[in-house]
Amino acid sequence: VILDNGLVRLTISKPQGYLIGIQYGGMDNLLDLKSSESSRGYWDINWNLPQGQDRYQLLNGSEYSVINMSNDSVEVSFRSSYDPSIQSTKLPLSVDIRYILRSGVSGFHCYSIYGRPPGCRAFDLAQTRLAFKLRRDKFHYMAITDEKQRIMPLPEDLLPGRGKQLIVPESVLLVNPINPDLKGEVDDKYQYSMDNKDGGLHGWIGSGPIIGFWIIFPSHEFRNGGPTKQNLTVHTGPTCLAMFHGTHYIGNEILAHFQEGETWRKVFGPIFVYLNSTSDASKAYNLWIDAKKQRLLQEAAWPYDFVSSPYYLTANERGSATGRFFVQDKFVSSSLIPAKYAYIGLSSARTEGGWQTESKDYQFWVQTDSKGNFTVKNVVPGVYGLHGWVPGFIGDYLDKALVNISAGSQTELGNLTYVPLRNGPTVWEIGFPDRTALGCYVPDVNPMYVNKLFLNSPEKYRQYGLWDRYTDIHPESDQVFTVGVNDPKKDWFFAHVDRMGPDNKYLPTTWTIKFHLDSIIKGTYNLRLAIASATRSDLEIFVNYIDQGHLVYQEMNLGMDNTVCRHGIHGLYQLFSIHVSSLLLIKGDNSMFLVQSRSGDPVCGVLYDYLRLEAPTSSS
């Protein structure tokens, strides 16, 4: 199938729906000619039957049809229908892959409709995406933000002889790359991950001719995990990804579990593939500037009015919700505090923070203004939980009442008040509650494993091997933090990991918090432990002595985020409230011990967001 608007020419295999050719700007095909026709532009999925092995497969159609064709637009469909009456171990999902090419538009739109008719067998959905493999002889420069742009290695550089695989399988040390300027750097696709809330535009700039290839997300409503979900963007290949659903930085808790007979339908996209070009090599960077402007135009046009599916709702078929968000914490202020620049969202999740692992339905999120005002626009009609979180305050907000969104109407929510967990005044606190470990000390990278993009960068945590820097800083004894003396940004290592011993074995670590109490209030103190991420951690907390009588918290095999090895600063946010009896404390100097008791795992660990010890409000 060939679609051509005079600017862009698409060649798509029939009836499979693989995008095998993109002609634009004087380049006969932007896609990789060395890849098979099914591996250039394609949808794929990772899934499994209950308790079964993970399966990977390409998604393709068995029926081709023209959905809409006019002077202004053409939309084509490549559909595969699942028949539940035929017993098999095939993917129990119907998929309809769509491409839209519009007149005068320098690019094209892609989306898919996934559906489960009645009678489908159970299965788990782990990941689905749209991937583009671009010409390796043309596209060498990637861009994902104003600061994160660079010349990338070639795929051959990752092979033995040119690259050396490190202990993380995706991490490769470039020992003899084709481009000698990259020698000694580490390449890893996870270093270019982005939060949904911070992403939405990424791509490549090619040469000969100079062409930009950009993926634009006009909305994130169809992506799982909400605004803090992290997704891959680009990686050596050159590959450009549109990630719709995945488990990265969360783990199996975010799998979408479909029960026997459960029906479901979801529209993934449309996303926009934008193409631009210049004949002046000195203006190549302007292609990125132009792509940013195009992103704003696509966001303003959402929801689109040219999509030919009854399952994709236009603006008139959607509703909105508006209100004002406050925080009430009497230990901070006697008055209500406007929740400025907080996040407010509508999700089908019905538990506090449950939006982080919600993967079946749509989510709609906005940030409040400086006074806490917000309007959530273009919401698909339905009944939602109203969720939120506020930088500077712990925990998750969930309104007691569900929110009903109707087409063509605005739901007035009025004033909403979040009361974060707190039982008493602050004795001490470590960190800043923003759901990340950014308030902690992130070390410089070992020069042997550098990625030059992240030198002198606010994202220095993206560097490889930082877990071993803990041992470099604390070679013989573990971290000791004295409240009122030490600074978390200088003295609190960003990840509570194992320490390498003299025989190169990774040993459990015990972090000590020292604090002074002038007096003891009889009753129960509370430790608020906000965790930004955890991976295979056995965490124990003791007060003053490390024995069973002084153990106040224990959690075995906590988390499966893989944030440490994937060079992140947060994963699945969790908040724990831990009771500490006043009988365990003494007047004068006290110690709290955080024990990472798992050994032998270099990349297990806990990333702490914030810790706060609260005193009782009265004697009990």
**Residue ranges of domains in the chain:** 2-139+193-301, 315-418, 426-614
Question: Residue 447: what pLDDT?
Answer: 97
Question: Residue 87: what pLDDT?
Answer: 81
Two tokens at 239?
């590959």
Question: Residue 88: what pLDDT?
Answer: 84
Alpha carbon separation from 42 to 8, 152, 203, 380, 602 (Å, rounded): 18, 22, 16, 27, 36
DSSP bridge pairs for 201 = 216
Question: Residue 540: what pLDDT?
Answer: 98
Question: Residue 89: what pLDDT?
Answer: 86
- Which residues does the chain have with pLDDT short of 70? 618-620
Cα distance between residue 616 and residue 603, in whole Å: 37
Cα distance between residue 448 and residue 184, in whole Å: 7
Question: Residue 382: what pLDDT?
Answer: 98
**Position of tokens 């390409």?**
58
Q: What is the DSSP letter of 503?
A: T
Cis peptide before 209 (omega within 30 of 0): yes
Question: Residue 620: what pLDDT?
Answer: 44
Question: Residue 386: what pLDDT?
Answer: 98
Two tokens at 242?
């549109």
Secondary structure class of 479 (helix, strand, coil): coil
Q: Residue 464: CB partners within 8 Å, gap ≥ 6?
A: 166, 168, 171, 186, 188, 191, 445, 449, 451, 567
Question: Residue 502: what pLDDT?
Answer: 86
CATH superfamily of 315-418: Carboxypeptidase-like, regulatory domain (2.60.40.1120)
Cβ 327 vs Cβ 313: under 8 Å: no
CATH architecture of the domain with range 2-139+193-301: Distorted Sandwich (2.70)
Question: Rg of the Cα trace of the chain?
Answer: 26
DSSP bridge pairs for 604 = none
Model pLDDT for residues 286-317, shown as the tens digit of each residue: 999 999 999 999 999 999 999 999 999 999 99
Model pLDDT for residues 81-93, shown as the tens digit of each residue: 999 998 888 999 9
Model pLDDT for residues 117-127, shown as the tens digit of each residue: 999 999 999 99
Cα distance between residue 63 and residue 58, in whole Å: 16
Question: Would the CA dihedral through 475, 478, 483, 487 be positive or negative?
Answer: positive
User: According to CATH, what is the number of the domain 426-614?
Assistant: 2.60.120.260
Q: What is the pTM of this model?
A: 0.96
